[in-house]
Structure 1
Amino acid sequence: MSSFFVKVILPVLVVVFAIAAAVGLAKLRQPPEKTEESRPAILVNVSGIEPDNVVYHISSQGMVTPKLETSLVSEVNGRVVMVAEQFVAGGFFNKGDLLVRVEQSDYLTNVKAAEAALANSQAMLAEEKARVKVAEEEWRSFTSGTAPALGLRQPQLASALASVQSAEAELERVRRDLSRTEIRAPYDGMVRSRAANLGQFISRGTVLGSIVGTDVAEIRLPLTDTDMAFLTMPAATVTESNKVTLTSTVAGQQLSWPATLVRSEGMLDERSRVMYVVAEVTDPYQRKSQGQPILNFGRFVGASIVGSQAEQVVRVARHLLLPGNQILVVDKDNTLQFRQVSVDRATAQFAYIKDGLEVTDQLALSAISNPLAGTVVRVAGASQSIDDTEQPTQLADAAAKAAAAVKGQ
């Protein structure tokens, strides 16, 4: 009997007790607490919106060229007997300076001959006037009435007078040729190139050299139609609206020169489809004034032109302007929003927003991948909310409870 109990009944009781214990423990087990996982809000950098009055500056570039440029051409024939020391490439001269002289011997002889011919014509005229007077007296002594023109020698007197006028004209011509043997500077300037040399025989039409004026330099600046819309063309007097600042790097230094916008060429270039405006710089070589660096002809310069003024616009970085003229902002609820804006002007660096932004908006400066409207964000520099600061502690407590429950099983 005892053997039957040990071999049959006892194992059955153990199994039943084990099953009952397992069921009891299963009923006593508590499931782990469930906590909702929440992602922290995106941290973004923002800046405030500050409308302001902005004066637009239009950028361009161009080459410095002389306003006056002249090719010196001989008007007489002869041998060059004098060349001025300053008549070399790069030499400076003043208005009226003698640059080249041609041999004058033949022209002086022509002047003397013309003076002699004039004196002879004047003597013949005086003699003819005396004959006319004698003819009038003889006519009156023999008869009365009006004397005929031939009897009073009027044709002979007119011929003598014409001879005098012709001699005077010839004298003026030879004197003019004599003055042309001296080539003088027509203005203050600089020699660009020289083609005449001492002892060289030149003829009428020979190019002696090229000179440029140093009083004023010009810079042709190309502008697009968009740029022209923000440009105030020059008035009769120099104002802030037609001032230009030229810049260039010279010997490793960034230099600048003040200039004045004086005119527009008024025609679009057929190839580039741009319009040229002209700026002027007074005394670029500082010959009459001091205080500014020398601005050489041929230098390539950048130009910043003072344009029109815009009232109450917002300047933002150009990369913040999204396609379709949209701006990503953070509203008063700290959520991302897209604003459709009206752009007054856009350059490579900035965009100028005329309207479309609200006063409570802040510009989102951080790069956000695939931003969605309504996304909650955290503003860099602002204090965090209590939920955000306590969230790590709550997650840690939940993790500890789950581990304890698993261990109790």
Structure 2
Amino acid sequence: MRPSQRSAGGSPGRPNVSQPMKQDATVSVERRQPAPPKASKGSLVAEVFRVGAPLIILAGGIAAFVGLASLRKSPESVQEQALAPMVETVAVEPHTGGLDIEVDGVVVPFREINLSAEVSGRIAMKSKLCRAGTYVPKGTPLIEIDDRDYKLEVERLKRELAQAAVMLNELDVEIANTKSLLKLSTEQLALQRRELERQKKLAERKIVTDSELDQTKRDELAAVNAALTLSNELRLLNTRTNRLESARDLSQSQLEKAQLDLSRTKVAAPIDGVVIEEMVEEDSYVQMGTVLVKLEDTSAVEVRCNLKMEDLYWLWAQAGVEAAASPTRDYQIPPAPVSVHYELAGRRYTWEGVLSRFDGIGVDERTRTVPCRVLVEQPRNVKIESLAGDGTSQNGKVGPPALVRGMYVTVSVHAQPQMTLLEVPQRAVQPGNTVWHIQDGRLNIRKIQVAEATDDFVLVYADASGLAAGAKLVSSPLDVATDGMTVRERVNE
């Protein structure tokens, strides 16, 4: 059968390409596979030794490791402590004295006065001191307005007063004469009335005629008329006197106004100050109300600054400040002493002042701070210190001798808090306002509540932080800090 399969479809010795090669290969393998040999007793022992020897060696190693581990002693606590990390510590100090709140500020004028023309006219004189930047004492003449018209007005009114006085004197004379005539007329009237009574009695006795009686009556009526005329004239003279007196008083008021206008032609400095701006020149014509000069009051200055609500809390809680008892005090800032600092050329210039008032009312919506004003009543009383730490500068007069507008300064508000505060060095404060407190050789992580921070230390509330004066805090870095870990404190020799 196999020879016939080789010769079918091709030459002898070549496989038939039309049949699969896999079947041909399988047939050849099956044809060539030798018969399995019979197992002997020696080969079985060798196989067992080859597989069991590594297992025996591994079991021996495990037994030796367990035996050595049982001989190891447990480490002592002293060795564990020797491996604890070494740290440096600082002590918490109690805060004594007040609390300084530092903010930035700018100096502003205490008062700025606009000197305006109170009368109209031509500028006849302008003083050489009336220049921007010039210091002028109180009462210094600055500007004079042409006063000739005002002098003439004063003279005219004086003459009117003199004329009114003469007319009043004339009236006094007329009144006196009229009173005398009225007295005579009254006496004449009395005589005529008695004469009339006699004539009536004689007429009854037919001694006088009716015509004589009538004549006596006419004389009596004439006397009455004369008395009445003089009385009316006297009342008229009194009325004229009142009118002239009123005119005289009016002229007197006009004279005082003219004299006041005449005095207003001379413009002088009302305060000790510095000329900030000049608006007119000599020979210029000005109307009433025209601003001539701007003066700044140098007797005092103010510093404009902004305080946070946290800063105001210290002022409200400072020693001696109680709750406001009236609406007036509710809108006033608690007064506090202030130091104003200005640094220049390695020196610090200091002025003393007081936190006087709010600059308006409420909180600034943009900065969320409260605008305040500091009053410095003695802007020329300056204390100069050297920033190099060598005491007061030898050239004490070198630098700004006075606090002037526009200077950017540092404001230190001195508050007196009532609560207990502790000083924690800055290097002992960890991220997140925490500290590493060492107690009985172990590290405790505590959260602190910061009241105020400075360059060297932070002030914390003693009650809220759970710390006390003398507590030791870690000031050196640690790779890993966990609550309750054992640490060693470095002893400074």
Asked if Structure 1 and Structure 2 have the same fold, meaning a TM-score greater than 0.5 normalized by the shorter chain, the answer is yes
Q: CA deviation at 1:54?
A: 3.8
Work out whether residues 182 and 231 of structure 2, in 8 Å CA contact, stay in contact via their aligned partners in 1: no
Amino acid at match of 1:95: K
Amino acid at match of 1:345: A
What's the TM-score once normalised by structure 1's chain length?
A: 0.75
Distance (Å, rounded) in 2 between the aligned partners of 1:141 and 1:273: 94
1:7 aligns with: none
Aligned counterparts, 1:7-406, within 5 A: 40-143=83-186, 151-152=234-235, 153-231=237-315, 242-265=336-359, 267-271=361-365, 272-285=367-380, 293-310=401-418, 312-317=420-425, 320=428, 326-331=434-439, 333-341=440-448, 343=449, 345-347=451-453, 349=455, 350-355=458-463, 356-358=466-468, 361-381=471-491
Alpha-carbon spacing, 1:142–1:373, altered in 2? closer, same or farther (3 Å): same
Distance (Å, rounded) in 1 between the aligned partners of 2:96 and 2:470: 20
The alignment partner of 2:403 has SS state of coil
Work out whether residues 94 and 469 of structure 2, in 8 Å CA contact, stay in contact via their aligned partners in 1: no
Amino acid at match of 2:472: Q
Which is helix-richer, 1 or 2? 2
Query: Which has more radius of gyration?
Result: 2
The alignment partner of 1:123 has SS state of helix
The alignment partner of 1:197 has SS state of coil
Alpha-carbon spacing, 1:266–1:202, altered in 2? closer, same or farther (3 Å): closer
Distance (Å, rounded) in 1 between the aligned partners of 2:233 and 2:72: 143
Amino acid at match of 1:44: V
Structure 1, gaps ≥5 residues long: 1-18, 236-240, 384-409
Distance (Å, rounded) in 2 between the aligned partners of 1:69 and 1:91: 15
Which is strand-richer, 1 or 2? 1
Q: CA deviation at 1:283?
A: 3.6
Amino acid at match of 2:489: V
Q: CA deviation at 1:328?
A: 2.0
Aligned residues with identical type, % of pairs: 23
What's the TM-score once normalised by structure 2's chain length?
A: 0.63
How many residues are treated as equivalent by the alignment?
Answer: 353
The alignment partner of 1:246 has SS state of strand
CA deviation string 1:172-194 (max 9, x = no partner): 11111111110011111110011
Alpha-carbon spacing, 1:72–1:382, altered in 2? closer, same or farther (3 Å): closer
Structure 1 stretch 304-313 or stretch 30-39: which is displaced more? Answer: 30-39
Alpha-carbon spacing, 1:89–1:250, altered in 2? closer, same or farther (3 Å): farther
Q: CA deviation at 1:267?
A: 1.5
CA deviation string 1:304-361 (max 9, x = no partner): 0110234542111457556776432111x211002355x3723365232322125673
1:12 aligns with: none
Alpha-carbon spacing, 1:364–1:113, altered in 2? closer, same or farther (3 Å): same
Alpha-carbon spacing, 1:293–1:367, altered in 2? closer, same or farther (3 Å): farther
Amino acid at match of 2:289: G
Distance (Å, rounded) in 2 between the aligned partners of 1:309 and 1:149: 88
Q: CA deviation at 1:163?
A: 1.0
Q: CA deviation at 1:101?
A: 0.7
Alpha-carbon spacing, 1:375–1:160, altered in 2? closer, same or farther (3 Å): same
